[in-house]
Structure 1
């Protein structure tokens, strides 16, 4: 059941990454410059009230080092490429195990 969910979410993330790449491509063509939507901009558009609360929560409850170099750099990466990467990782995690050679008689 977990493998099925991992593969389903992986395929959905790859599809979302492809759609994001098409949207970024059309935006780049319209502006005559290469433009990607950063993850932070996407999250702010999806969660406008809770996204600004991430910085105080991380710096106060976890550690300020996690916010400045790590999360800020993560939020500037292209969202479509991150969706592709996470989708591929979930597809890899949800793959079927390889049949060992020479143990077919145990079934």
Structure 2
């Protein structure tokens, strides 16, 4: 059941990453230059209140984690972050093939 949830969530994150890539590509063509939406900008556009709450709670609890880990992740292009997390979840939820030499 957990593998299914990991694959299901990973699939939707991959789909979201491809949608973000298409949106950035369309904006880049319209602007005649490379336009990339950062993950932080996308999060702020979707739910600004939750981003602010996450920032204040992370800075209050562990400011080093916010500065060293979360800020670089939020500055990544949104499509790259979604694709990366989606691939990781798909890999964690993959069904292993049984070896024909395995006993049991």
Q: Same fold (TM over 0.5)?
A: yes
**1:40-59 per-position Cα deviation (integer Å, ceiling 9, x unaligned):** 01111111223123222112
Show structure 2 runs of 5+ residues with no match. none
Show structure 1 runs of 5+ residues with no match. none
SS at match of 2:48: coil
Q: C-alpha separation between the residues in 2 aligned to 1:48 and 1:81?
A: 21
Q: Which moved more, 1:43-52 or 1:22-31?
A: 43-52
Please report the RMSD computed on the Cα atoms of aligned residues, expressed in angstroms: 1.5
Residue 79 of structure 2 corresponds to residue 80 of structure 1: yes
Matches for 1:36-75 after TM superposition, within 5 Å: 36-61=36-61, 63-75=62-74
Indicate the residue corresponding to 1:22 in structure 2.
Answer: 22
TM-score after normalising by structure 2? 0.89
Q: 1:102 to 1:29 in 2, by over 3 A?
A: same
Runs of 4+ with deviation above 6 angstroms: none
Q: How many residues align?
A: 104
Using the TM superposition, give the Cα deviation of residue 60 of structure 1 relative to its aligned residue in structure 2, in angstroms.
Answer: 1.3
Indicate the residue corresponding to 1:101 in structure 2.
Answer: 100
Please tell me whether Structure 1 or Structure 2 has the larger radius of gyration of its CA atoms. 1
Q: 1:103 to 1:23 in 2, by over 3 A?
A: same
TM-score after normalising by structure 1? 0.86
**1:9-40 per-position Cα deviation (integer Å, ceiling 9, x unaligned):** 11111111111100000001111111111010
Q: C-alpha separation between the residues in 2 aligned to 1:103 and 1:77?
A: 42
Using the TM superposition, give the Cα deviation of residue 79 of structure 1 relative to its aligned residue in structure 2, in angstroms.
Answer: 0.8
Q: C-alpha separation between the residues in 2 aligned to 1:79 and 1:34?
A: 14
